[in-house]
Amino acid sequence: MSRKTLIILLVVLAGLIGLVVAGVMLLYSGTDTIRPETEVPDSQQYLLMPAVPVDAVMVGAFSNVEEVLPKILPATGFAASLNELVKSQSVVIEQMVVSLHNLGRIYPLYIIDAGVAQNETTSLAMSVLAAAEDNGLYAEYLNCSTLDTSRKIAGRSVVLASPCKELVLSSKRHLRASESVLKAPGFYYAHAKSKGDNRIFLSNVLSEHLVSSIFSDRLRGFFTVGKRMSDWVSLEVESLSDIADKFSGRMVSDEKQPDILTVFEGCGVSASEVSNMLPSYTVSALALPIKKRSEFLNSYQAYLDSRQGLQRKLILRKRLEDANGISPEDFCERLEIAEVATASFKVNDGLQRVNLVKVGKVDKNLISLTTGLNEYKYASYAGSLFGDLFILKDESYYTYINGWIVSGSKDAVQLYVSGEATFYNLAEYMINADVQDPFATPAAFMAYVSFTLEPDLMGNIFHKGVQEVIASTCEGVDYSGAFMTLGENGDVGKLRLEMFRNEIKRSKAPMQARDTMIVISKGPFSVKNARTGMTNQFYQSASNNYLCLKDENGKGVWGVPFDKPICGTAQSIDYLGNNKFQILFGAGTKLHLIDILGRFVADFSADLGKEILLGPDVYDFSGSGKYNVLVLHKDNTIEMYNLKGERPASWSTITSSDMIKDLPEKIDLGGNTFWIVRTAIQTLIYPFGGGNPVSTLTGDQMALPQTEVKILDETSVEVECYDGKHRTIKLK
């Protein structure tokens, strides 16, 4: 697995923090509060921070560099060179700071402690300068004792390095003027709320610039609201490993909580249950569990009123009440809403969002209890009560399932109605990736992001450069994602972030990943021409459904009008037993027979009684010309018939709870015949007479849909399973 770069680590952190911040900003924050400027007192822990320009968007300060460096820096570039220096123990870097700045685009500034201040360049500095030069960075050595400052940095020498020369020069100017991020508005309080040897600080005021360099244009606006919530986010690096990175911290502006977070105080916290309702392929999700409904709504309303934001909500609520005969407040109380969430996932060819509302009480006068597709009268009700985050572009349909109202577009909700969205849910997916479900931790607000994305979705979310790094980060990893909570266990300003990467054993195949497409061919099909002894091509015209034949030279022989699409196969049989072959095919509910001259066989009639999806396949088990056929019907059944359309008495229908993808494959072992049936999620093996499968593998031991069925001996075969193991199936 590739190591992720420090810069992308910081960038992703910024994005995830922005996600939670933007989510919490569903509680409209109103006018910014001007914070007093107070400088962080001098300390060894902030030794290098005076070199960080005041306009830093994000700052990472690392003390135990030898431990942290190998875990967060990339396999290539300047950071890799530093990593190699540390690993070789040729140098000891006691402290390092990496800051991000917006100069038209986001640039990093590396500030590396090069030892005690001295006029001559230290050996450590020379190694670092060489590494910077080798990687195309502009770098300078600076003896900080030449600065007019009383801070501890005056006793050190540093190396400043960046891809942008102006950023290095800016750092030097700030040092000489005794100006730095330590004097940035609100940073004093961010510092006061942080702890640990390795800290990361994000400026919400400036984060819009950073976020705009990460996310696609369509998502930028969603993240620009953070600057209205708190000045800074302070995070401590708790642990870093190959499978998970963990951080904890706070949102801070001054010595008090940011005003908006007081909405959650006294409202209680509870665990979210929404992960059981989210598909495994969820891209992002935000959840607001509500323990004390009345307290929360009253607190939120009072907050809106204090920020001149209540009137707009009241107007919306009155409009909704007039249209539907019930106010959003009464709607909430009658259903005893216990949680609201919103999630995005792939629908058709793009991302769509749904709202999920957990109800504690069912009111049949408001919602239908049948799991079906229903028109939704109460679109925007959740948004009017809990914030604009829950206003959807299309919320015209809903379904009720397992105590939840799921609303959104017709296509999105249909995934819940069909069972596809909940067949393999996010909670199961995380369990199978050995990730403890973070939604289960009581908190005020939660956010989830998946990095395990299909290539066509990456462009909807991230800029190209970030796409490439995330793809590299996830290389060789089945599951990669991140989760952030706000207000864990009732501490409303507390943030917790976990980024995880792991292998996964699938106990179910995600329905979104299933191959549910069945291609019904119109030909050409190779058929025998007994008159010429050659192979001809039989096909159906795509434009007018004519049945057509081409000779061995590709020349058209005939075309015959026909009124139905044929069902994907055409087989040569000697129906009359005179060594003259006819062409058997299916269409509608019937089998049809046409000879090599384009004439339908007059005395042939076989109506199977139900629609054919694919088939027939033809078998002459005895070699006597007594043909049987196998057909896959549109009702997901496989049947065997003779040419009169009659099922043999010994035959039992083959079916499956999952979609059957193709006609069976015949396999012979020890004088016995079996049928291999491929479904959308697994491979099953049935006895010759149909009925129940002889293979009963389940969970992550299910045989893969396209596994080779390898004959081992006269009684057993071998298949490959979802957990990557090969298993033996006894067929007798």
Rounded CA-CA distance 110/314 in Å is 50
In the block, residue with structure tokens 């990496």: 98
pLDDT of residue 224: 44
In this structure, the answer to whether residues 422 and 559 fall within a common structural domain is no
Q: Tell me, what's the pLDDT at 478?
A: 65
Of 250, 268, 285, which closes a domain? 250
Q: Between 319 and 502, where is the model more confident? A: 319
**Alpha carbon of residue 251 to chain centroid:** 27
Alpha-carbon distance of 247 to 483, in angstroms, equals 11
Helix axis angle, 293-306 relative to 310-324, nearest 10°? 130
pLDDT of residue 464 exceeding 80, the answer is no
For residues 720 and 185, which has the higher predicted lDDT (pLDDT)? 720
Same domain, 158 and 242: yes
* Spatial contact of 217 and 247, defined as CB atoms under 8 Å apart: no
Residue 722 clears pLDDT 70, i.e. is over it? yes
140: pLDDT strictly greater than 60: yes
Return the amino acid letter for 602.
A
> Do residues 284 and 245 share a domain?
no
In a domain, 316, yes or no: yes
Which pLDDT does position 420 carry in this prediction? 82
Q: How many Cα atoms sit within 13 Å of 314 on the Cβ side? A: 8
Could you tell me if 217 and 336 lie in one domain? no
DSSP state of 264: G
pLDDT, greater one: 270 or 255: 270
Same domain, 474 and 365: yes
188 or 69: which carries more pLDDT confidence?
A: 188
- Name the region of 636 (left: φ>0; alpha: ψ -120 to 50; beta: rest): left
Same domain as 166, residue 71: yes
Helix/strand/coil for 173:
helix
**Residues 99 and 141 placed together within one structural domain of the fold:** yes
pLDDT the model gives residue 27: 42
Q: Are residues 435 and 558 in the same domain?
A: no
Residue 338, domain extent: 259-448+462-504
Q: What is the number of domains present in the chain?
A: 3
Q: What pLDDT score was predicted for residue 545?
A: 93
Statement to judge: residues 82 and 229 lie in one domain: yes
442 vs 210, higher pLDDT: 442
Please report the pLDDT score of residue 28 as a whole number. 37
H or E, element range at 337: strand 337-347
Confidence category of residue 295, pLDDT binned at 50, 70, 90:
confident
The count of other CB atoms within 10 Å of the CB of residue 327 is 17
DSSP 459: H
Q: Which contiguous run of DSSP H or E holds residue 165?
A: helix 165-176
Q: What is the pLDDT of residue 497?
A: 81
- On whether residue 692 sits in a domain, the answer given is yes
Query: In terms of domains, do 682 and 713 share one?
Result: yes
Neighbouring C-alpha atoms within 13 Å toward the C-beta of 721:
20
Residue-wise pLDDT tens digits, 312-322: 889 999 999 99
Examine the domain organization and report whether 95 and 16 are in the same domain. Answer: yes
Return the CATH number at 671: 2.40.128.630
The residue out of 250, 285, 301 marking a domain boundary is 250
Q: Identify the CA nearest to 201 among candidates 160, 164, 231, 169.
A: 231
Q: pLDDT per residue over 324-342, tens digit each? A: 999 999 999 999 999 999 9
Closest CA to 442 of 487, 385, 507: 487
Type of residue found at 459: G
What tokens appear for 6 in the block? 């420090």
More confident residue, 486 or 293: 293
pLDDT digit string, tens, across residues 155-164: 999 999 999 9
Of 128, 156, 137, 18, nearest to 69 by C-alpha is 128
Model confidence band, residue 216 (pLDDT cutoffs 50, 70, 90): low
- Single residue among 250, 285, 302 that ends a domain in this structure: 250
Phi, psi of 477 (to 5 degrees): -115, 130
What's the rounded mean pLDDT across residues 14-19? 52
Is residue 454 in some structural domain?
no
pLDDT at res. 220: 52
The answer to whether residue 64 scores a pLDDT higher than 70 is no
The confidence score (pLDDT) of residue 74 equals 44
Would 626 be classed as within a structural domain? yes
453 domain-assigned: no
Decide if pLDDT at 91 tops 50. Answer: yes
Would residue 516 count as lying in a domain? no
Q: What is the mean pLDDT of residues 401-405?
A: 93
Residues 611-635: pLDDT tens digits?
Answer: 999 999 999 998 888 999 999 999 9
Tokens matching residue 18: 């922005």
pLDDT higher than threshold 60 for residue 507: no
DSSP character at residue 342: E
Beta partners for residue 263, in sequence order: none
443 and 478 assigned to the same domain: yes
pLDDT mean over 602-609 = 90
Is 408 part of any domain?
Answer: yes
In a domain, 60, yes or no: yes
